[in-house]
Amino acid sequence: MKKTYLMTPGPTPVPPQALLAMAEPIIHHRTPEFMAIFKETCDLLKYVFQTQNDVITFTSSGTGAMEAAVCNLLSPGDKAICVQGGKFGERWTELCKAYGITPIVVDAKWGTAVDPKAVEAELKKDASIQAVFTTLCETSTGVLTDIRAIAQATKGHNAVLAVDAISGLGAEEIKTDEWGVDCVVSGSQKGLMIPPGLAFISLSKKAWEKVEKSKCPKYYFSLKKARKAIESTDTPFTPAISLVIALRETLRMMKNEGLDVIFNRHKILALATRKAMEAMGLKLFAPAAPSNGVTAVCAPEGIDGEKLVKHMRDKYGVGIAGGQAELKGKVFRIAHMGYITQTDILTTIAVLGMALAEMGYRGEPGVGVEAAEEVLLEGRDRAPAQP
């Protein structure tokens, strides 16, 4: 018998109604039936992105939409600030380099958030900077960036702010229009709760003006082509039809639950996870700027993070994530993002306790679950156990 519990920061569990929607006979994308679905999906995306601007859908992983941001907003020779501090922050730098754009790297130690003042200082030094690229929730470290403050810093500047919210959208607050975020990028397999394969991007008026001037080569990821198509509820190229249909289901769920309730749910689950880790004597990797989507925890001395992940998966069917790049073996990551309930978090903490004990870690049984329960019970008036 095999039963699995997915607690990874992408893919995240897919609700059964979305899974079943994908099992229905495929329909053609240029039919009134699909166009109605796509129209509704585009409208619901605006709600989740908290924007009045069009949200464009690409068939690709989230990285495709990051590339679209770089190659549509900029031209070779341009300068752009790339906020690093993790594997995905570094991706912005790599993308800029691929297109002959000069990255001005603002780094943060992995596990800490960038100081928005450091970004502001770079912007003040150079009025010709065309863009600031940063990350809402850095999946590799579990760090949350203060996007609102960075948006404040870019507002009066020539540069546009582009945020990789692949891992954050639907888990963390990001008020795109209100804060003045010019470009928000996301993916389908995280807070949006469907399988990977779709990527999204929204652009402000200021960003669209940059798109008009961009000289980087592009075709599949051309935002101009995409904008023209979306005018007639279409995509320039055949979309991943079944994923769009699944997405409508999960976006409807999100609209029903409401963004505020969703963000509160994530906040409580994240807090419960952190308190549990601390009660178990484990060190949080990003204690000062923890995200509500994923918690990175240092593997205790003498225990290999990779082996822990494998043990939990093989023996208990609970899939958490290991460390990426320089953190391989050193951290493990528990996601509490998307279709995740209090029950799932309690399960994961309990199994983590078992696995650690089996691997020789000296901890008191049950203390993690106890600490999590305290948080969850405190929040019982605020958050339903099930979304």
Residues of the shown chain interacting with a second copy in the complex, contacts defined by CB under 8 A: 4, 6, 8, 10-11, 13-14, 19-20, 22-29, 31, 58-64, 67, 71, 76, 94-95, 98-100, 187, 189, 195-197, 216-222, 237-243, 313, 319, 321
Strands across the sheet with 294-298, in order?
A: 294-298, 331-335, 321-322
Nearest to 165 by CA among 143, 138, 142, 189: 138
Give min distance, CB of 103 to a second copy, in A: 13
Q: Which is nearer to a second copy, 134 or 154 (CB)?
A: 134
Give the DSSP letter string of 116-179.
HHHHHHHHHH-TT--EEEEESEETTTTEEP-HHHHHHHHHTSSPEEEEE-TTTBTTB---HHHH
Give min distance, CB of 3 to a second copy, in A: 10
Q: Which is nearer to a second copy, 245 or 277 (CB)?
A: 245
Q: Which is nearer to a second copy, 100 or 258 (CB)?
A: 100
How is residue 55 annotated by DSSP?
E
What is the residue type of 41? T
Instruction: Give the count of beta carbons closer than 10 Å to the beta carbon of residue 262.
Output: 21
Q: Which is nearer to a second copy, 87 or 210 (CB)?
A: 87
Nearest to 65 by CA among 155, 188, 151, 154: 188
Q: How far apart are CA 9 and CA 384, in angstroms?
A: 22
Give min distance, CB of 150 to a second copy, in A: 23
Give min distance, CB of 45 to a second copy, in A: 18
Q: Which is nearer to a second copy, 243 or 279 (CB)?
A: 243
Give min distance, CB of 33 to a second copy, in A: 9
How is residue 223 annotated by DSSP?
H
Give min distance, CB of 279 to a second copy, in A: 27
Q: Which is nearer to a second copy, 28 or 125 (CB)?
A: 28
